Amino acid sequence: MTTQLLLRYDSFDRGTHDAHAEDRANAGLTQLQLWREGTGAHWALFDVNDPDRATAWVEKVTALGHGPSAHHLLETA
Protein backbone atom coordinates (compact mmCIF):
# COMPACT_ATOMS: atom_id res chain seq x y z
CA MET A 1 0.00 0.00 0.00
CA THR A 2 1.02 3.55 -0.66
CA THR A 3 0.53 6.29 1.92
CA GLN A 4 -0.24 9.83 0.84
CA LEU A 5 -0.85 13.06 2.73
CA LEU A 6 -3.57 15.47 1.64
CA LEU A 7 -3.33 18.99 3.07
CA ARG A 8 -5.82 21.86 2.89
CA TYR A 9 -4.63 25.43 3.33
CA ASP A 10 -7.32 28.09 3.92
CA SER A 11 -4.61 30.72 3.59
CA PHE A 12 -1.78 29.93 1.19
CA ASP A 13 1.46 31.75 0.41
CA ARG A 14 3.36 30.20 -2.50
CA GLY A 15 6.68 31.73 -1.42
CA THR A 16 6.41 30.23 2.07
CA HIS A 17 5.33 26.90 0.62
CA ASP A 18 8.30 26.80 -1.75
CA ALA A 19 10.72 27.91 0.98
CA HIS A 20 9.76 24.86 3.07
CA ALA A 21 10.38 22.28 0.33
CA GLU A 22 13.60 21.04 1.96
CA ASP A 23 11.87 20.60 5.33
CA ARG A 24 9.13 18.54 3.67
CA ALA A 25 11.71 16.41 1.88
CA ASN A 26 13.52 15.81 5.18
CA ALA A 27 10.17 14.62 6.60
CA GLY A 28 9.94 12.07 3.77
CA LEU A 29 7.33 13.97 1.75
CA THR A 30 7.32 14.31 -2.03
CA GLN A 31 4.83 16.75 -3.53
CA LEU A 32 2.65 15.13 -6.17
CA GLN A 33 0.04 17.79 -6.88
CA LEU A 34 -1.13 21.27 -5.87
CA TRP A 35 -4.66 22.54 -6.53
CA ARG A 36 -6.38 25.89 -6.03
CA GLU A 37 -10.02 25.83 -5.00
CA GLY A 38 -12.45 28.51 -6.17
CA THR A 39 -12.65 29.90 -2.64
CA GLY A 40 -8.90 30.60 -2.63
CA ALA A 41 -8.04 27.58 -0.52
CA HIS A 42 -5.25 25.31 -1.73
CA TRP A 43 -4.88 21.54 -1.53
CA ALA A 44 -1.56 19.73 -1.70
CA LEU A 45 -0.99 16.00 -2.17
CA PHE A 46 2.24 14.35 -1.05
CA ASP A 47 3.68 10.87 -1.27
CA VAL A 48 4.71 9.72 2.23
CA ASN A 49 7.84 7.64 2.94
CA ASP A 50 7.34 7.52 6.72
CA PRO A 51 3.88 8.26 8.20
CA ASP A 52 5.31 9.01 11.68
CA ARG A 53 7.74 11.62 10.31
CA ALA A 54 5.00 13.10 8.14
CA THR A 55 2.66 13.43 11.11
CA ALA A 56 5.43 14.99 13.21
CA TRP A 57 6.10 17.51 10.42
CA VAL A 58 2.40 18.49 10.20
CA GLU A 59 2.23 18.96 13.97
CA LYS A 60 5.42 21.05 13.95
CA VAL A 61 4.38 23.44 11.14
CA THR A 62 0.89 23.76 12.62
CA ALA A 63 2.37 24.71 16.01
CA LEU A 64 4.57 27.29 14.25
CA GLY A 65 1.48 28.88 12.69
CA HIS A 66 2.04 28.12 9.00
CA GLY A 67 0.61 24.64 8.77
CA PRO A 68 -2.43 23.38 6.94
CA SER A 69 -5.98 23.97 8.16
CA ALA A 70 -6.70 20.24 7.67
CA HIS A 71 -4.70 17.13 6.89
CA HIS A 72 -5.47 13.53 6.05
CA LEU A 73 -3.11 10.53 5.86
CA LEU A 74 -4.54 8.21 3.20
CA GLU A 75 -3.62 4.73 2.02
CA THR A 76 -4.36 3.33 -1.39
CA ALA A 77 -7.02 0.63 -1.31
How does residue 7 score in pLDDT terms, banded at 50, 70 and 90? very high
Between CA 41 and CA 48, with CA 43 as vertex, the angle to 5 degrees is: 155
At residue 27, the pLDDT reads 96
* pLDDT tens digit sequence for 8-49: 999 999 998 999 999 999 999 999 999 999 988 999 999 999
Answer yes or no: is pLDDT of 67 > 90: no
Residue 49, φ and ψ in degrees, nearest 5 = -85, -35
Q: How far is CA 52 from CA 3, 11, 14, 76, in A?
A: 11, 25, 26, 17
Q: How far apart are CA 57 and CA 26, in angstroms?
A: 9
At residue 51, the pLDDT reads 96
Between CA 32 and CA 61, with CA 69 as vertex, the angle to 5 degrees is: 75
At residue 65, the pLDDT reads 86
Query: How many structural domains compose the chain?
Result: 1
Residue 68, φ and ψ in degrees, nearest 5 = -75, 160
The structure's pTM equals: 0.91
CATH number at residue 51: 3.30.70.260
Residue range(s) defining the domain that contains residue 14: 3-75
